[in-house]
Amino acid sequence: MEILEKSNYNLSLSFQKEITQLQAYQRKIDVHIEMLKNLTRRVQIMQMGRVAYTELEFELIKTEITQMEAIVQELRASLNGSNEKVEALYAEVHNISVTVNQLENYDKNNVLAVRREIASLQRRLEECKHNQTQQSPFQVEYGKFGSCEHGGIMNISKPLVVQLNWRGSGYKAGGWGKDSFFGSTEKGYWASMLENNALNYFSSVRLYNSYDDLLLYKNYQDKTASDSGNGAGMILYNNSLYYNCYNSRDICKHNMVTNKLERKTLPNAAYNNRFPYSFSQYQDIDMASDENGLWVLFSTEEAQGNMVIGKLNSSTLELIKTWTTTVYKPSMSNAFMACGTMYATRVTNTRQEEIFYMYDTNTEKEARISISMDKMTDNIQSLSYNPNDHKLYVMSEAYETEYAVFFKSLSKEKL
């Protein structure tokens, strides 16, 4: 009896052990079925060619398949081929392994070869970029903004579309940016849109407290001047909006703090759409600022429509000095000042502008140049430089867009 009991006990122990082991196998199988499902999904995506995959991903999948094959073999051996789930698993792993091998063979001649080519091109591009950086454009350290110890503009970055103006895509023309008085620590942004009609006038400017507020269209103040303005040549300079007063050759100065408006006639300036830019109606008088102060870009009958650069006294609005260029203002799409040099753009095509001309008021020399600027829309309606961050602020058919300006180093210029 005792022997029987003991034998029974041992049998029960052994049975228990078998059960536990079977349960463990079951868990293992369930886990591996899940792994297989995941693997199948990935291989299917590869087959459909929906995502980019690399040699490394192939290798990883192949390694996983090999591991699974080994585990499934092991399971099969332990269960003597008596478990349906394991058999199904074994068949699927085998299928997936065949598929991946086929994919790889197909791929060796096609996709991966193209990918290697692309990788090599990318490497070469990176090398080019690296070399270009080593040729050192004017390296601007923080706090070095304001220095004009450079050889003029070298190139312009790709455009960054910051946002659609708050009034929407129906309002295409206007100006925007940051206070462009050199040394301004103002963190806010401004934007002013022309009314959506043929008159091209505006009467207010929206001020945002910060970049985030601009992006979220919140925390703003609208400032309305007693006199409205013409064209999108306005800029915010030392807390005042400077612009061409409506239907006149006057320059208006609207103080954002006191709301006071001052105006002064710009002698002989053409106005009322006489010499606007090529695609910016009524922008006869375009305000600009740079490291050297406040400027006005305009034309006169005497200059026969050619661009005239005027240096302005920002307090009294008096014209200090003018320089007459040899380029017809309506042939330009816009213009801006940087370090006392005027740069003018023209349309190359619907996706590119070219800075094609410069006039240096320091040396009174002009030059034809060619610096291309990509754009997102057919035309641009305003373009201003800010000396505090070396950026160009552009209104590109309702979209507020910015570009970084890179200057040539002086040493490179001398070489």
Task: Give the list of residues 6+ apart from residue 413 with CB closer than 8 angstroms, or none.
Answer: 150, 151, 152
Q: Rounded to the nearest whole angstrom, what is the least distance from the CB of residue 240 to Ca ion in the complex?
A: 17
CA distance 189 to 164: 14
CA distance 201 to 84: 80
Q: CB-wise, 334 or 388, nearer to Ca ion? A: 334
Stretch that binds Ca ion, among 11-19, 175-183, 278-286, 363-371 (CB under 5 A): 278-286
Number of H helices, E strands in the chain: 6, 21
Q: Rounded to the nearest whole angstrom, what is the least distance from the CB of residue 337 to Ca ion in the complex?
A: 8
First to last CA, the chain: 109
- Please work out the total of residues on this chain that contact Ca ion, with binding judged by CB under 5 A: 4
Q: CB-wise, 189 or 336, nearer to Ca ion? A: 336
Q: CB-wise, 334 or 379, nearer to Ca ion? A: 334
When asked if residue 383 is in the footprint of Ca ion (CB under 5 A), the reply is yes
CA distance 173 to 396: 8
Residue 273's nearest CA partner among 251, 299, 254 is 299
| 3-state secondary structure (DSSP) of residue 306 | strand
Q: Rounded to the nearest whole angstrom, what is the least distance from the CB of residue 325 to Ca ion in the complex?
A: 14
Q: CB-wise, 138 or 336, nearer to Ca ion? A: 336
Q: Rounded to the nearest whole angstrom, what is the least distance from the CB of residue 298 to Ca ion in the complex?
A: 11
Contact characters 138-177, Ca ion, x per CB under 5 A: ----------------------------------------
Stretch that binds Ca ion, among 70-78, 79-87, 279-287, 342-350 (CB under 5 A): 279-287
What's the Cα-to-Cα distance from 210 to each of 205, 241, 245, 313, rounded to whole Å? 15, 18, 28, 28
Q: CB-wise, 225 or 335, nearer to Ca ion? A: 335
Q: Rounded to the nearest whole angstrom, what is the least distance from the CB of residue 278 to Ca ion in the complex?
A: 13
Q: CB-wise, 97 or 238, nearer to Ca ion? A: 238
Q: Rounded to the nearest whole angstrom, what is the least distance from the CB of residue 386 to Ca ion in the complex?
A: 12
Task: Give the list of residues 6+ apart from residue 252 with CB closer than 8 angstroms, or none.
Answer: 225, 227, 229, 241, 242, 243, 244, 245, 261, 262, 263
Q: Which structure tokens are listed for 118? A: 């692309």
Interacting positions 280-339 with Ca ion (CB under 5 A): 286, 334, 336
Q: Which residues bind Ca ion (CB under 5 A)?
A: 286, 334, 336, 383
